[in-house]
Amino acid sequence: MSGLLQSIEGTAAGHQAALVLALLAAVLHALFGALQKGRHDPWLSRAAIDASYGLIAAPFALFVVPWPEPHMWPIFAGAVLIHIVYKVLQAMTYTRGAFTVVYPVVRGTGPFFTVIGAGIVFGEHFAPGQWAGLALLVGGILGLAAWNLNHVTHDRATMGPALWLAVATGAMVAAYTTYDAYGIRATADPFTFLAWFFLLDGIFIPVVTQARWRQLPAAEAWPLLKRGVLGAFVAYFSFGSIMLATRLDKVGEAAVLRETSTVFAALIGWLVLGEKVGPARAGLMALIAVGAVIMEWAG
């Protein structure tokens, strides 16, 4: 698999594969976000997911993939630190704000910052048509957040801080996307980066949430652990897909396409959580999709 991926890097086939991987990441990322914002404490949901994917990744990191080159250890340290900040901000955001409001803000600000970061780090540049597509996509995402904000009836008292935290979380999405794209390109085997990242990244949140675990009713432990295992596999395919996409093709384009996850998040809210879509939200979701198509076509 590694050899196949390396053979199509920077080719037309690699571009098409990156497109499919980015869209797959979008679907799965919406599901991942919903798993964290379920009926459980977002901190414990994240801890259950991290512990699960860290434990599952351990044998693959230690015995299956090639060991990281020496220069990769400082890169892993930086990746883990950035993700710690991101996850703390994300948990604070989800604790204070309605998922249908704060999730689009996080995902809407993320691609804008990522495109700028990819231009600085990787020298990527968007054509004018791609900027227009990006503007439509981000505008649709933030419009979706604004519409939801006007209609939610819960978490109103803490929505102001939640929105600022959501913007900060979006900036960290851009930081980890750009940095991890650098990391996965720095090693010969991309699966070495993925396996060791999940192993190392699965340590911090479970450790710092020990007190919360002790307060959890026994009847809630098993459902939360099941959510953690499910979230671990979603994370593997979601994060793995977007990271492979950034190795195969442009980081900025892959990051923007992933943010169509807001459309899938709205669909999850409609189909699973029983939320109404209505013509306004449907129009904004269509705007997001059109922006993604224009960005891809103009590129």
**Mean pLDDT computed over 49-65:** 96
**Number of neighbours of residue 246 by Cβ within 10 angstroms:** 30
**What's the whole-number mean pLDDT along residues 125-133?**
87
Lowest mean pLDDT among 6-10, 35-39, 286-290: 35-39
**Banded pLDDT at 127 (limits 50, 70, 90):** confident
Confidence grade of residue 198 (pLDDT, cut at 50, 70, 90) = very high
Cα three-residue angle 124-130-136, rounded to 5 degrees: 130
Q: What pLDDT shows up at residue 293?
A: 80
Confidence grade of residue 274 (pLDDT, cut at 50, 70, 90): low
What confidence tier does 80 reach under pLDDT thresholds 50, 70, 90?
A: very high
- The chain-wide mean pLDDT, for the chain, equals 85
Give mean pLDDT, residues 225-250.
89
The CA radius of gyration of the chain, in Å to the nearest whole number, is 19
pLDDT at 227 over 60: yes
Coil, strand, or helix at residue 138? helix
For residue 60, pLDDT beyond 90? yes
How far apart CA 114 and CA 278 sit, in angstroms, is 31
Q: How confident is the model over 30-42, as pLDDT tens digits? A: 777 666 555 667 7
User: Which of 151, 169, 24, 145 has the alpha carbon at shortest distance from 95?
Assistant: 169
pLDDT at 41: 75
Q: How far is CA 71 from CA 15, 77, 178, 252, 292, in A?
A: 28, 11, 18, 25, 36
Q: Which of 113-122, 193-202, 254-263 has the highest mean pLDDT?
A: 193-202
Burial status of residue 187 (CB atoms within 10 A of its CB: 0-12, 13-18, 19 or more): buried
What's the rounded mean pLDDT across residues 226-254? 89
Sequence-distant (6+) residues with CB within 8 A of 191 are 1, 2, 65
